[in-house]
Chains A and B, each alone.
Chain A
């Protein structure tokens, strides 16, 4: 299985809602990543987990809260988001910081 899956594909939420994005991989990769991508821009790194521990936080606002329950799963909990947080959220995984494999993304709209 060489796939990274993400759910949901689309999410619309209000500024007071709490929601979660989910990412899963079964390639045995020990590094997992969250990226945010705005239209016509490259992805921006948000968080890196290595061996289920948070290793990089790119100064992301606390309204985004990552979680890595096990080596295959990565969640991104969302709370009190702003309209400017609307974007495509991409998950990726890699083995020992080699090439990263990306999921299809979750298109998030904050109203």
Chain B
């Protein structure tokens, strides 16, 4: 059971919009930046969103991030079949050990119907 809670799966049709939630607490999301990662089948994770809502160069603006309180959300518009992947949220947590610890959510599998 991850400290950061994500839905196991979400689905939507091509061209539609989907959101993926990531719920935490004040010791992690509530006081730290959130980043999001996309892992296509058989590949390494890839950074999609950093510092809650910023996109690295090369990431299309179909991907967006937001944070409110102790929750964060990844949004994907104009869904494409190539977006089928597992999406992970991540953030720092200051309570799990003396020096702090990096956390990932359990991952959400996006199914494009």
Q: Tell whether A pairs with B.
A: no
Identify the A interface with B (CB < 8 A): none
Q: Which residues of B contact A (CB under 8 A)?
A: none
